[in-house]
Structure 1
Amino acid sequence: MRIAIVGAGVVGMTTAWRLAQDGHEVTVLERHEGPGEETSFANGGQLSYSYVAPLAGPGVLSKVPGWLLDRDSPMRFRPTADPAQWRWLMAFVQACNAATSEATTRKLLRLAFYSRDLMQAFVEGPEARGEGGGFDFARRGKLVVHRNEAAYASACRLLDYQASLGCEQQALDRDATVALEPALAGIRGDIAGAIYTPSEEVGDCHRFCLSLAHLLQGKGNVSMRFGTRVTGLMTSGVQVVGVRTTDDEVRADAVIVAGGIGSVPLLRPLGVRPMLWPLKGYSITVPIADGARAPHISVTDFANKIVYARIGNTLRVAGMADLVRGGPTIDRERAQTLVAQTRAVFGGVANGAGLDALQPWAGLRPATPDGLPLVGPSRLPGLWLNLGHGALGFTLAMGSAGLLADQLAGRAPAIGAEDFSAARA
């Protein structure tokens, strides 16, 4: 089949990789000059397969007032007059209950574990063997550190439930946590305990996209058109038959829209309205001056909702979820929160004023209200979606690409495709 993919972030690039393996004629269209230059560029770096619970949970609504009043809160909300924001928020509120959250978590875990299997096959496979280490991929495990005794006790109570879903985790007290990750010694007195998951991974998402692009360039059935702006989708009756760009038209048997939050205006003229809203996240990338002060294991500060991932010779620090309209502009106050927390937790990781001199980054993570991405055929013939992964794009990309490829080829999907039906858009 001739397939056009709109978007070359991590979701678009993994989709291109899987479809090229199936022998399809693939054209990737991306407005930036290279792959992974937007939301995939400097994300948290954690491939966190066992931690995919949706933002919409039973305890979230009670925390929102405090978050809104705290300038350093992990979540910010700025209301607008846009009806789409309020529709998204109402659906989000409806999903904030235990039954919905648990069902969503089970579905996302199946997709995450499938994605983990495919990522492992990629880094160990013959085609990618030379590129497998080209994005600082490492399996170092993850520590979710709790500063509050009640929160830690609650996490411990979930261990049996998590184990029933396939997660391999263990609870560590304060001393065991610092023994496993000595770089946390500076906050030893603040640690109530931690949950350790040894199977979690890290990697540089942008470099992963570049690795895929490099591999795809060697395939005769793939064309990657960077610096190409898509202006619309072509139709014949109700059938989507191609893509219109500022330069030309690209005919296709199937069009896959994987352009993140920018996909919403592209799809609107066809009456396809995915309920997506951008969750703006921030990161800083810290050159490691003192390796003893940087964690080897990925760390999530549960109270502050900040993640730390050692990627090569740098420490990626990321967090926040701002429900705001607008592009990926930098809120200096939010960036300074990351700097202050990094200094408090891993003081001395950077030389002198190195932290203050860093260039922060922000990305718009396209999220559905319930946390389930839209993967598969839409209601329009010829139009397929791979959207709405929120903060889990890197983690779920391989699995989503595999799920879509199976459906497009008419194969029985490896996991339940109905859980992520794109017809919901």
Structure 2
Amino acid sequence: MNSKHVCVLGAGIVGLATAWQLQRDGYSVTIVDRAAPGSGTSSGNGAQLSYSYVQPLADPSIWAQLPKLLLAPDSPLKLRPRLDPAQWRWGLSFLGACNAVQSRETTARLLALAAASRTALEGALSELSTHCDFSQTGKLVLQPTLAALEGARQQVLLQSQLGGAPQEVLDAAQCVAIEPALDGYRQHFAGAVYTPSECAIDSLKLCQSLAEALVRKGAQVHLNCEVQGFRRERGLVTALRTSAGDLQADAFVMALGSDSPRLARMLGVGLAVYPLKGYSITLDVDPGAGAHSAPRVSVTDTRRKVVFARLGDRLRVAGMAELVGHDRTVAPERIQSLADAARALFPACSRFETLNPWAGLRPATPTGQPIIGRIEGAPTNLLFNTGHGALGLTLAFGSAVQVVNELG
């Protein structure tokens, strides 16, 4: 039994997965967050567990898209320059990472981390008492043109060489055979990459289940608790200063997503993490519309940059990536764009009476590689677990294992 006490900052999926792994390895755990478990970026994400399709946003193809990203009002990827030095630093570093060598290196690291994450999450689900709308129905990544499909074929080949799971490149007819709900949209895509082993899960339900299990097994959870600073002694963090008083521990893990840089600056540490704003809607599937009205297989439409994931009797529709700072405002035009995408692909999937609109901030690094473990210049008993971008749900449990291994 490990006698060390670890305090985890953050009760999103990354923080809770870390706390879960720590507790399983015998650590005493405290969790601190200013809100309820999973109520931030984890509450409305795309719900796909994308273990085998981890191509980073920083890719050579960005250069050709740059004019549209900067200027087009309806672009699914939106870069809006602000008077924010952190945004400019991040943006320039991001463009520097948009090359084939960096993209390949990032893909390799993310595939390895995703494989570890799959194993760890499956272990956690076997111990949790709730289902969390988990499914393993595979995923289709739709490509709009033959040229795009050929580019996807090259990515599949790369991922195969790097040890990725089996994937197939299919034409449109083969896609519809796998997911009949796509029949009315078949004229709008040339084919897709199909990964039979991909999964989906309700991240909020998973967070709530993890938090409940952690408390049952003795974890201390401080919610509605603001971190106000740190107490340091001889190069170590000895306590958090919070709105609930000082919280002491032997070690600390910062898993605060896009808020991590603000807290890290209190310790003189710079983190290359900036928020990528995303949106989602969650539709009730129309039970009277027929078995093939809504997809069972997860779908990503690369033309629209929108993902679809079935969560029981609901359909999560998510997309967009906006480099616009820390604004969490839910933009009506973005929500309408997601609703239009759902109607275009799956017109009979829902009555569209309630959209459940949501916006959240994904913490992203320029390369797409998360920051995991100790970093130079930070107190040695402070570890980081942040910067997962759009893959936070996918990578949470793998990065948790990596943090615990480094802590040990």
**Range class of TM-score, shorter chain:** over 0.9
Q: How does 1:7-406 map to 2 (within 5 A)?
A: 7-32=10-35, 34-124=36-126, 127-128=127-128, 130-131=129-130, 133=131, 135-167=132-164, 168-220=166-218, 222-289=219-286, 290=289, 291-351=291-351, 353-354=352-353, 357-379=354-376, 380-406=379-405
In structure 2, distance between residues paired with 1:301 and 1:366: 22
Moved more, 81-90 or 195-204: 81-90
Question: How many residues get paired?
Answer: 399
1:134-153 per-residue CA deviation (whole Å, 9 max, x = no partner) reads x1111110001112111012
SS state of the match for residue 262, structure 1? helix
Q: 1:111 Cα shift?
A: 0.3
In structure 2, distance between residues paired with 1:186 and 1:112: 33
Q: Is the 8 A contact 1:242 1:254 kept in 2?
A: no
SS state of the match for residue 281, structure 1? strand
1:274-324 per-residue CA deviation (whole Å, 9 max, x = no partner) reads 011100000000000034210000000011110000011100000000000
Q: 1:197 Cα shift?
A: 0.2
* Letter of the structure 1 residue corresponding to residue 100 of structure 2: A
* Letter of the structure 2 residue corresponding to residue 36 of structure 1: G
Q: Is the 8 A contact 2:54 2:107 kept in 1?
A: yes
In structure 2, distance between residues paired with 1:159 and 1:308: 21
Q: 1:162 Cα shift?
A: 2.1
1:175-195 per-residue CA deviation (whole Å, 9 max, x = no partner) reads 111111000011111221111
In structure 1, distance between residues paired with 2:254 and 2:244: 19
* Letter of the structure 1 residue corresponding to residue 388 of structure 2: H
In structure 2, distance between residues paired with 1:54 and 1:156: 16
In structure 2, distance between residues paired with 1:68 and 1:266: 30
In structure 1, distance between residues paired with 2:9 and 2:233: 19
Over the matched positions of the two proteins, sequence identity in percent amounts to 45
In structure 1, distance between residues paired with 2:19 and 2:214: 8
In structure 2, distance between residues paired with 1:200 and 1:393: 15
1:39-77 per-residue CA deviation (whole Å, 9 max, x = no partner) reads 000100000011112111111121021233322211111
SS state of the match for residue 316, structure 1? strand
Q: Is the 8 A contact 2:55 2:103 kept in 1?
A: yes
SS state of the match for residue 310, structure 1? strand
SS state of the match for residue 293, structure 1? coil
Change (3 A) 1:255 1:154: same
Aligned to 1:414: none
Q: 1:238 Cα shift?
A: 2.1
Gaps spanning 5+ residues in structure 2: where? none
1:224-275 per-residue CA deviation (whole Å, 9 max, x = no partner) reads 1111111112211321112111121011111111111112111112111101
SS state of the match for residue 327, structure 2? coil
* Letter of the structure 1 residue corresponding to residue 396 of structure 2: A
1:17-54 per-residue CA deviation (whole Å, 9 max, x = no partner) reads 0001111111100111x200000001000000111121
* Letter of the structure 2 residue corresponding to residue 232 of structure 1: G
* Letter of the structure 2 residue corresponding to residue 200 of structure 1: E
Q: 1:115 Cα shift?
A: 0.5
Q: Is the 8 A contact 2:51 2:118 kept in 1?
A: yes
Q: Is the 8 A contact 1:47 1:202 kept in 2?
A: yes
Q: Is the 8 A contact 1:4 1:242 kept in 2?
A: no
In structure 2, distance between residues paired with 1:82 and 1:175: 47
In structure 2, distance between residues paired with 1:46 and 1:136: 11
Q: Is the 8 A contact 1:234 1:243 kept in 2?
A: yes
Q: Is the 8 A contact 2:70 2:80 kept in 1?
A: no
TM-score (norm 1): 0.92
In structure 2, distance between residues paired with 1:233 and 1:205: 30
TM-score (norm 2): 0.95
Moved more, 222-231 or 391-400: 222-231
In structure 1, distance between residues paired with 2:146 and 2:72: 22
In structure 1, distance between residues paired with 2:191 and 2:355: 31
SS state of the match for residue 397, structure 2? helix
* Letter of the structure 1 residue corresponding to residue 203 of structure 2: C
* Letter of the structure 2 residue corresponding to residue 43 of structure 1: N
* Letter of the structure 1 residue corresponding to residue 80 of structure 2: R
Q: Is the 8 A contact 1:233 1:266 kept in 2?
A: no
In structure 2, distance between residues paired with 1:162 and 1:325: 32
In structure 2, distance between residues paired with 1:2 and 1:217: 15
Gaps spanning 5+ residues in structure 1: where? 410-425
- Over aligned residue pairs, what C-alpha RMSD do you find? 1.2
SS state of the match for residue 242, structure 1? strand
